[in-house]
Structure 1
Amino acid sequence: MSDDWLESDDEYSATAHNNTDDREFLALQRIHGTIGYREGVIAGKEETMQEGFDAGYNAGFAKSLNLGISAGQATVQKLLQQKLKLSSETKTNNDSQ
């Protein structure tokens, strides 16, 4: 019985040590969980933003290409009309002389 009081201190020390370990583990788990969550949110935003940029770029490029083709065709038609008009005027002037 005289040894009981020594054993109880050892048990208390072991329990206190385990409680400290548990608290440290929980604190580390909370810290790393928070860090992991933040990194996941950042990665998710970056991926979503990149996908949105890619989709917008492709859609904008396709529309711009079509507008460029239309503008080019209109310019060619205008230049051809001017050339035909000049050619016609030159022919008329040559015929009248």
Structure 2
Amino acid sequence: MQALLGTTVLAEAEEADLVRIEGNWYFPPASITAGVLTESPTAYTCPWKGACQYYSVVDGDAVQQVDAAWAYLTPFPSAIERVGSDFSGYVAFSPQVKVVS
């Protein structure tokens, strides 16, 4: 599967390697294209997953899409149990990013 913003591939992995949570596909960290995401200062904590790190899509030094991706770097143990898979550091994308198989 691929995560695309326009024609830019943000992530690519086999569907079996992804985790599906609340309708979102979470891509493993190693599947993220190098250099396309930069940490965002946006803060959020999900009541059941934990602290969230947001990312913006960049092209060189220019930000293309603010807060277009997020990850739970250290999700609550109860969230991992609830999902049935360790999704630490896995990255999901906002609706502006198209996920295709």
Check whether TM > 0.5: no
More helix by share: 1
What range is the shorter-chain TM-score in? under 0.3
TM-score by length of 2: 0.12
TM-score by length of 1: 0.12
More strand by share: 2
User: Per chain length, whose mean CA-contact separation is higher, i.e. which structure has more relative contact order (CA < 8 Å, sep 6+)?
Assistant: 2
The structure with the larger Rg is: 1
